[in-house]
Amino acid sequence: MNKTRKFWLDTMLKIVTPVLTALKEDRLKESMPVECANGVTDRENYTYLEAFGRTVVGMAPWLGCKTLSSEEEELRRQYAETVRECIKVATNEHSKDFMNFSYGHQPIVDAAFLAQGILRAPHELWEPLDIETKERLIKAMKNTRTRKPYICNWLLFSAMTEAFLHHVGDESWDRMRIDYALLKHMEWYKGDGWYSDGNDFHLDYYNSYVIQPMLIEVLKEVGDEEPSWKKMTEPVWQRGARFATYLENFISPEGTYPLVGRSLTYRFGAFHLLSLTAYSHRLEKDIKPAQVRNALTKVIERTLKSPDNFDGQGWLTIGVCGHQPNMGENYISTGSLYLCSSVFLPLGLDENDEFWSAKDEPFTMQKLWSGENLHAKHAL
């Protein structure tokens, strides 16, 4: 395993292990702190499913990779078994860590992240589950249907849950929930790789946190079910690749990036779409996998420079670069922060893939700020 891959893997496991170890042992609720904005008192209802769903969504491709070196494969096998045990605990109503899928609006979000993660490695995270756990998980996903999502990126959370139900063969999967989400997002496309978040355009990272990864993966699962959905698939990928290029361009030579918009405490989860595009081998032709690897490595290193990113027990703290609790909106709590795991999707590519094996290459802003003569990019 090369040094950079080892750094990525060690960092991912440092972040996710407290969540998974505690949940497997049915003690997540007693162990994980619930840090949130001043005056917010309801996040204990939601933060545990947030932590679990967002952990799984990022590490799933690695859990599903079957071409790893022997040392890494043993780790992968152990963690895959742990996640399956966590699913059992989280969906068992007799567990202390039984999770809330049925009360309040927030579980609509994090059931979808859990579904998205399982769909990224179904042969490890769905197929080996026992029948009772499968039934409980399906019931949990269906329990999110009792509330309406907001008319914004939240439509995609409902769509992702229905895509999961489609994958597992549940005949009740709802075409209308998927169709409405897809049609509204086609309507909200603004051009050059950008979607608005509902009717209003927001300058933030929600195209990367949620919108484009879920559009891509809902269509990957159900795109062949309707001709109109199939027609959307390639344009959605082209837009995703363009937005991924912008994400790569946002990274400064020092590994910083513009801290604009809401939910910045997801840290390098801001690069979810760039990681997905690299993992899927769908980068635009002038963006090389090695430069994405180098850019994201710089971001991870720069972000985690402060030891205050973690508390004394290894849990993430609210902030971007260290402990900055004032950055947490009223929907942010400790569990929310684990969406940062989504940067690690390329660990699902083995060490022989170009992403990991190609020689080092400067990323765009390193090239430009060192005087390299690159072509300007025109709108998509």
Cα–Cα–Cα angle for 147, 150, 152, nearest 5°? 145
**Residue 108, in any domain of the structure:** yes
**Residue 380, in any domain of the structure:** no
Indicate the SS3 state at residue 100.
coil
CB of 124 closer than 8 Å to CB of 348: no
Indicate the SS3 state at residue 139.
helix
**Residue 135, in any domain of the structure:** yes
**Residue 17, in any domain of the structure:** yes
The residues facing 310 across adjacent strands are 316
In the chain, the DSSP E strands lie at: 189-191, 194-195
Q: Say how many C-beta atoms besides its own lie within 10 A of residue 280's C-beta.
A: 20
Cα–Cα–Cα angle for 351, 66, 16, nearest 5°? 80
In 226-379, the DSSP E strands lie at: none
How many separate domains does the chain show?
Answer: 1
**Structural domain range at position 7:** 3-369
- Which residue do the tokens 């494969």 mark? 73
**Residue 117, in any domain of the structure:** yes
**Residue 33, in any domain of the structure:** yes
**Residue 172, in any domain of the structure:** yes
**Residue 374, in any domain of the structure:** no
- Which residue do the tokens 């007799």 mark? 94
d(CA 340, CA 78): 22
The pTM (predicted TM-score) of the whole model is 0.97
CATH of the domain at 178: 1.50.10
The pair phi, psi for residue 310, each rounded to 5°, is: -125, 150
- pLDDT tens, position by position, for the chain (380 residues)? 899 999 999 999 999 999 999 999 999 999 999 999 877 889 999 999 999 999 999 999 999 999 998 889 999 999 999 999 999 999 999 999 999 999 999 999 999 999 999 999 999 999 999 999 999 999 999 999 999 999 999 999 999 999 999 999 999 999 999 999 999 999 999 999 999 999 999 999 999 999 999 999 999 999 999 999 999 999 999 999 999 999 999 999 999 999 999 999 999 999 999 999 999 999 999 999 999 999 999 999 999 999 999 999 999 999 999 999 999 999 999 999 999 999 999 999 999 999 999 999 999 999 999 999 999 989 99
